[in-house]
Structure formats: C-alpha cells, structure tokens
C-alpha cells in the first residue's frame, strides 16, 4: 500500500455553495509515479451565504444561523451514510466519510467522490431537454418508491421541512428587493404580461410556501415522500454526451442531499396540474380570441 504524502485543497464554491464551503482536494502519494487522487470536501458554515449577501448589499436580510445549517448538513450525512445505499440503482456520489455538525462542539465535514470534468450542471437559466427531464424523473421516482415502501423508517428519519416562518419572511424580503433588478433584464412587453401574476405570487408568498412545504404533504390522506428541494435551480449533475451536439442525457447524480425533505408525490402534482388546466382552459381560450 502506498502512503499518502500530503493533501491540498482549494475552494471551488464560486458563490454557489450557500451553506458550505466546497473544496476540490488533491491527495498526493509518496510514490511520485502515482497520479493524485481527487475528492470533494464540504465544510458546513455561514461564511458563503454572508459573502454572497454582502456582495449584493443585502447584509443581515437572511436569518440562517449555524443551528439551522447543522440540520441541512446532518441530513445530508445521514442520507449518504444510511439511506442512499438502500435505494437500488440511485445515482449518487460515493461517500468516503462524514462528521455531523454539532454547534459549539464539533465542526462538520463530508468527503465525497469527485465526479470529474465529464459531469456538469445545467445553468439555472436554461431549460432541461426532454432526455434530461426523463433522467431526473427516474431518480425522483426511486426516492419516492423507497419512501412509500419504507414509511416507518421515512417518518422516523425526520425529513421535515427545515425552514421556519421567520426564514420564509426573509426569503420574501429578498424576493421583493430583487424585483427591480429582474425588471431591468426583461422586455417591457414580457414584463407587462407577468407583472400582475408576479405581484400576486409575492403578496401570497408565505401562504404558498407554508401550503406547499408544510400543509400539502400531509393533507387529504396524502402519503409524504422524500423530495428534492433544489430542482428549481437544476441542482443535478449530468454526464457529458460524446455526440457532436454535446447533449447531456444521463444524470450522474441526483443532487444536493442537504435539500431533501418531506414532500408530495410527483403523481399528485401532475394530477392536480391536469385538473387545473381543464378548469382554466375554457376561460383562457375565450380570452385569447
């Protein structure tokens, strides 16, 4: 066995790691003929989010303390250590070790496989293509199937939604402050079409978030399942296809397990969406003539 000579890591968060610093870590061996081995080290903390808010002149607008961050980090450690291996064919990076974050007693850490340059994230401002969407849905169904078949373990593991109402209010404040910036980048014609809807969504943000995250998963006999809370920003990695169009088709891993929480089955969302479309379509058709 070749002994490791030394370790070197550099921060690759690049303003994207809100609740942790992410380091690409190189492990060099005493045997110089051996190439370095690369892993990803995630250290939970509030430094990243404070840096981001400061750059946007939004200091103090979001109330997320280490106690809150520990919930996200420890949930991610639990998923990789105790849950992921039980879900057949689920795509996730290998975990080499972890430490829970215990505020005031122990710093947290998570060491996972480096997926390399052949895996990338689609930017949040781009839509996924049909192949990428199907790939992600396949992984979501695996999470949901596991939840449905292991409800006792699922409930015991406490996947409850981690945001408090105070934090929801801070998200609302950020959304309101971001509207003027958003307006600068949208054509006037497009803005006039969405302005009223956007105002309604912002005005009812707390009600919507409370309903979607807290009330809906347990209402009307609904059976809760593990949900991925970061789908809206394309928080998945895809393998780069070798064809000439460089289409990203197969998901390499499902995404950030910190954001997994209790939620509603995809079936119910699709079922409700169809019913809403049927209800609204005649009125929309009449107004569009």
Tens of pLDDT, residues 113-137: 888 777 888 888 888 888 888 888 8
Mean pLDDT of the 266-283 span: 55
Residue 199 to residue 185: CA distance in whole angstroms: 17
Q: Which domains does the chain have, with CATH numbers?
A: 1-114 (3.30.200)
Between CA 79 and CA 85, with CA 83 as vertex, the angle to 5 degrees is 115
Three-state SS at 94: coil
Q: What is the pLDDT of residues 59-74, one digit of tens each?
A: 666 667 788 888 889 9
Assess contact for 122 and 128: CB atoms under 8 A: yes
- Determine the longest span between alpha carbons in the chain, in angstroms: 75
For the entire predicted model, the pTM comes to 0.76
For residue 245, pLDDT beyond 60: no
Q: Give dist(CA 258, CA 261) in Å, integer.
A: 8
């Amino acid at each position: 066995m070749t002994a490791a000579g030394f370790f070197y890591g550099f921060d690759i968060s690049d303003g994207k790691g809100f609740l942790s610093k992410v380091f690409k870590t190189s492990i060099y061996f005493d045997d110089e003929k051996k190439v370095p081995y690369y892993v990803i080290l995630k250290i939970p903390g509030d430094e990243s989010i404070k840096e981001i808010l400061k750059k946007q002149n939004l200091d103090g607008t979001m109330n997320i303390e280490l106690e809150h961050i520990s919930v996200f980090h420890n949930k991610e450690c639990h998923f990789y250590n105790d849950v992921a291996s039980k879900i057949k064919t689920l795509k996730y990076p290998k975990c080499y070790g972890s430490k829970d974050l215990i505020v005031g007693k122990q710093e947290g850490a998570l060491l996972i496989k480096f997926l390399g340059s052949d895996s990338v994230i689609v930017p949040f401002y781009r839509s996924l293509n049909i192949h990428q969407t199907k790939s992600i849905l396949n992984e979501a169904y695996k999470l949901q199937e596991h939840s449905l078949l292991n409800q006792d373990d699922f409930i015991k593991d406490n996947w409850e939604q981690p945001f408090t109402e105070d934090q929801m209010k801070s998200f609302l404040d950020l959304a309101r402050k971001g509207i003027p910036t958003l307006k600068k980048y949208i054509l006037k014609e497009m803005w006039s079409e969405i302005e009223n809807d956007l105002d309604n969504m912002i005005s009812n943000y707390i009600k919507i978030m409370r309903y979607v995250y807290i009330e809906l998963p347990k209402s009307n006999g609904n059976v809760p399942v593990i949900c991925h809370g970061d789908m809206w920003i394309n928080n998945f990695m895809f393998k780069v296809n070798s064809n000439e169009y460089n289409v990203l088709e197969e998901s390499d891993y499902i995404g950030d397990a910190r954001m997994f929480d209790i939620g509603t089955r995809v079936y119910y969302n699709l079922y409700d969406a169809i019913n809403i479309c049927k209800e609204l379509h005649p009125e929309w058709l009449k107004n569009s003539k």
